[in-house]
Structure 1
Amino acid sequence: MPTHTRIRMFNTKTTYPNQSLDNDLCQAVRAGNTVYVRGQVGTDFDGNLVGLGDAAAQAEQAMKNVKQLLEEAGSDLSHIVKTTTYLIDPRYREPVYQVVGKWLRGVFPISTGLVVSALGQPQWLMEIDVIAVIPEEWLEQREAHP
């Protein structure tokens, strides 16, 4: 029995053709009842950037990605326990956190926010990664009805 499940595996050679990378990664990992979601940016799963120059639009796409990945892992937004948000400019804090707050209304996760000098691609203005759980009763239902 595997100890974890990798969700949306990919290789950086195809994801980032502008860089000389060849790394096997995935978008999320479910380990037991914990889900770890890779940093999400304003790029959809087809590789299209949403919101060039617009931190709020990038945050909106990033949260859409987070929602989809959590659902594919067997969880949802209401079970996020921690967020880490990276911004390349402190002026993006308000627009990004307004978007994230809208998606996480009533969830009350712990949250860390960082301002960094750059992200992995120059057009990315923000990135967010999350840790969520899958409630025990959801796991039991899944096992009973695979």
Structure 2
Amino acid sequence: MSARQVGGRTEVSSGGPWEESVGYVRAVRTGPHIHVAGTTATGPDGEVVGVGDAYQQAWYTFMKIEQALRALGAEMRDVVRTRMFVTDISRWEDVGRAHGSFFAGGGPRPAATMVEVKALIHPDMLVEIEAEAYVVAQ
């Protein structure tokens, strides 16, 4: 992850193949607010991680979100909202279990939404996740 200052905000890029061509970054921080773009289980080699496994894809995606948050001075406990887009809602428990592995256990939990979508950008992708965080000054 590489961060850069642009005006009054900090942008983090993961170097993903679509960021430059589509014109977005992995995450943006403005003041205490952090917005993490839709994130998928795409590995550093550009290949989908966990083909056919919704839990593994969701878990890997949350790890990528966590890396982006850390690059902007935040942690998962700062997440106030998640949005999970799944291609097969019958796999909701697998995706939910991955969500719970990052947010259950007595710590702060975000508001969450999970919806089924017709397709994602690659046919092997089963889940795409967005996150919003609010960093309280220490």
* Alignment-mate amino acid for residue 11 of structure 2: R
* Alignment-mate amino acid for residue 98 of structure 1: R
Q: Give SS of 2:99's match.
A: helix
TM alignment of 1:1-146, pairs within 5 A:
2-8=7-13, 10=15, 15-16=17-18, 22-105=21-104, 106-137=107-138
Distance 1:25 1:113, change over 3 A: same
Q: Assess if the C-alpha contact under 8 Å between 1:10 and 1:24 holds in 2.
A: no
* Alignment-mate amino acid for residue 4 of structure 1: R
* Cα separation, 2, equivalents of 1:35 and 1:43: 21
Deviation at 1:109, TM superposition (A): 0.8
Deviation at 1:9, TM superposition (A): 6.2
Q: Percent identity?
A: 28
Structure 2 runs not aligned, ≥5 long: 1-5
Q: Assess if the C-alpha contact under 8 Å between 1:10 and 1:25 holds in 2.
A: no
* Cα separation, 1, equivalents of 2:42 and 2:22: 19
Deviation at 1:10, TM superposition (A): 4.8
* Alignment-mate amino acid for residue 91 of structure 1: S
Deviation at 1:44, TM superposition (A): 2.7
RMSD over aligned CA atoms reads: 1.9
Deviation at 1:92, TM superposition (A): 1.3
Q: Give SS of 1:26's match.
A: coil
Structure 1 runs not aligned, ≥5 long: 138-146
Paired residues in the alignment total 130
* Cα separation, 2, equivalents of 1:114 and 1:75: 26
Please list the CA deviations of residues 49-72 of structure 1 after superposition, one character each: whole Å capped at 9, or x if unmatched.
210111111011101101111000
Deviation at 1:4, TM superposition (A): 0.9
* Cα separation, 1, equivalents of 2:86 and 2:137: 34
Structure ID, larger Rg: 1
* Alignment-mate amino acid for residue 118 of structure 1: A
Greater mean alpha carbon deviation, residues 28-37 or residues 99-108: 99-108
Distance 1:73 1:62, change over 3 A: same
* Alignment-mate amino acid for residue 53 of structure 1: G
Deviation at 1:115, TM superposition (A): 0.6
Q: Give SS of 1:51's match.
A: coil
* Cα separation, 2, equivalents of 1:26 and 1:38: 7
Deviation at 1:111, TM superposition (A): 0.8
